[in-house]
């Protein structure tokens, strides 16, 4: 057994199909060049100590000592670590350090990436882990954060690149026919993915017929988007992002500030823009024609007083060691 191990996992954007993916529809996701890095170290004590940029806690079975948010933020990580330790019959504790350059709570998959990297770093203390097994364990941990998770965020964070994902069929990689110039902008409004998924669920239960029509439209958008990405037709991709945003507004997960950022992006040359991830604030994604246009869009959003950054697709996914 090693005395320490490191793993890192990337942030994600959902290009098409968020929320509908929870009900078995496909979604198209990409991982981006922002990461969470986790270092796991063996300890002389029998507790699991976890420290991240936003919380810290010392876990021992059901008890936790530490920051106020330790239970909510770190329990899923602890539970994943504990499962690995039990399986490996390891009776001593661990120290886990989580460092992130992914903005938290705005739909960029920071909780999934932290689950993936924590599981991987812990497994790596014992052996070279299998990615699929890491991903499945991370999905279980993420379901402690929001129980209806589709699993999509953990898949993209583990396998990286661009994927077409559905709950029943898993994922297939998409080869993009053109470079994608992406801007991410932050509304500054944090959200709870679990609450948003629940609000969409109650909307669905109140409007079954309408929701099933929207579900079919979302499925059709994903199919056409996959073809557009493969063909390198970024104008069509942009148009489909706008079409997808109309559906996200209908299911109530857009937000005035998100709408404003989308408007700024489109007015300044974006081919398409939409909420990405759970919504309710959070982040928006805009697709630019080229590098210059990408910088111009990010610049105008910053001038309007919001955080924005230019993102690249990450093709590595989970990195061990
Ligand atoms: C969250 O990043 C994406 C949602 O579709 C929820 C999920 O897929 O579990 C809103």
User: Domain 181-311 adopts which CATH fold?
Assistant: Alpha-Beta Plaits (3.30.70)
CATH 3.30.70.890 positions along the chain are: 181-311
- The candidate with the shortest Cα–Cα distance to 81, out of 133, 127, 44, 118, is 118
Task: Give yes or no for residue 197 CB within 6 A of ligand 1.
Answer: yes
| Phi and psi, residue 316, nearest 5° | -90, -35
Q: Ligand 1 center to residue 102 CA distance, Å?
A: 17
Task: Give yes or no for residue 142 CB within 6 A of ligand 1.
Answer: no
Each residue of 243-277: pLDDT tens digit?
999 999 999 999 999 999 999 999 999 999 999 99
How far apart (Å, rounded) are the C-alpha atoms in residues 4 and 42? 6
Maximum Cα–Cα distance across the chain:
59
Task: Give yes or no for residue 153 CB within 6 A of ligand 1.
Answer: yes
Catalytic residue status for 233:
no
Residue 121: alpha-carbon gap to chain centroid: 19
Ligand 1 pocket: which of 13, 17, 21 to mutate (most atoms <8 Å of CB)? Answer: 21
Q: Give long-range contacts, CB 8 A cutoff, 24+ apart: 299-305.
A: 300/264, 300/265, 300/267, 300/268, 301/183, 301/185, 301/261, 301/264, 301/265, 304/260, 304/261, 304/264
Q: Ligand 1 center to residue 196 CA distance, Å?
A: 9
Task: Give yes or no for residue 277 CB within 6 A of ligand 1.
Answer: yes
**pTM exceeds 0.75 for this model:** yes
Dig out the tokens for 225 from the structure: 């988007």
Element (H, E) at 121: helix 110-124
Each residue of 209-230: pLDDT tens digit?
999 999 999 999 999 999 999 9
Q: How many residues make up the chain in this entry? A: 321
The single residue of 33, 101, 130, 153 carrying the catalytic annotation is: 153
Each residue of 80-109: pLDDT tens digit?
999 999 999 999 999 999 999 999 999 999
Contact between residue 72 and residue 86 where contact means Cβ atoms under 8 Å apart: no
DSSP string, 182-202: EEEEE-S----HHHHHHHHHH
CATH 3.30.230.10 positions along the chain are: 4-176
Q: Which CATH class is domain 4-176?
A: alpha beta
Give me the percent of the chain exceeding a pLDDT of 70: 100
Each residue of 121-132: pLDDT tens digit?
999 999 999 999
Angle at 127 between CA 36 and CA 93, to 5 degrees: 70
Each residue of 28-65: pLDDT tens digit?
999 999 999 999 999 999 999 999 999 999 999 999 99
């Amino acid at each position: 057994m090693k005395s320490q191990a490191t793993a890192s996992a990337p942030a994600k954007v959902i290009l098409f199909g968020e929320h509908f993916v929870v009900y078995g529809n496909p979604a198209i996701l990409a991982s981006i060049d922002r990461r969470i890095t986790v270092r796991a170290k063996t300890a002389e004590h029998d507790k699991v100590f976890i420290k991240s940029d936003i919380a810290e806690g010392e876990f021992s079975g059901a008890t936790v000592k530490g920051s106020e948010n330790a239970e909510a933020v770190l329990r899923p990580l602890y539970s994943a670590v504990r499962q690995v330790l039990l399986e490996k019959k390891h009776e001593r504790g661990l120290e886990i350090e989580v460092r992130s350059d992914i903005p938290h709570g705005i739909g960029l998959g920071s909780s999934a990436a932290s689950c993936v990297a924590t599981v991987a770093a812990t497994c790596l203390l014992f052996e070279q882990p299998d990615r699929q097994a890491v991903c499945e364990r991370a999905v279980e941990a993420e379901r402690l954060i929001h129980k209806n998770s589709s699993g999509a965020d953990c898949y993209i964070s583990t396998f990286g690149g661009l994927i077409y994902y559905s709950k029943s069929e898993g994922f297939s990689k998409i080869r993009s026919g053109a470079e994608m110039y992406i801007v991410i902008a932050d509304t500054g409004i944090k959200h709870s993915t679990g609450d948003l998924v629940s609000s969409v669920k109650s909307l669905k239960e109140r409007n079954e017929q309408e929701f099933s029509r929207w579900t079919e439209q979302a499925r059709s958008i994903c199919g056409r988007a996959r073809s557009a990405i493969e063909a390198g037709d970024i104008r069509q991709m942009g148009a489909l992002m706008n079409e997808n945003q109309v559906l996200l507004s209908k299911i109530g997960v857009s937000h005035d500030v998100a709408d404003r950022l989308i408007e700024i992006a489109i007015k300044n040359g974006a081919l398409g823009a939409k909420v990405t991830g759970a919504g309710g604030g959070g982040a928006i994604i805009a697709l630019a024609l080229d590098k210059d246009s990408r910088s111009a869009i990010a610049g105008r959003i910053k001038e309007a007083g919001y955080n924005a950054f230019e993102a690249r697709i990450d093709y590595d996914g989970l990195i061990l060691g």
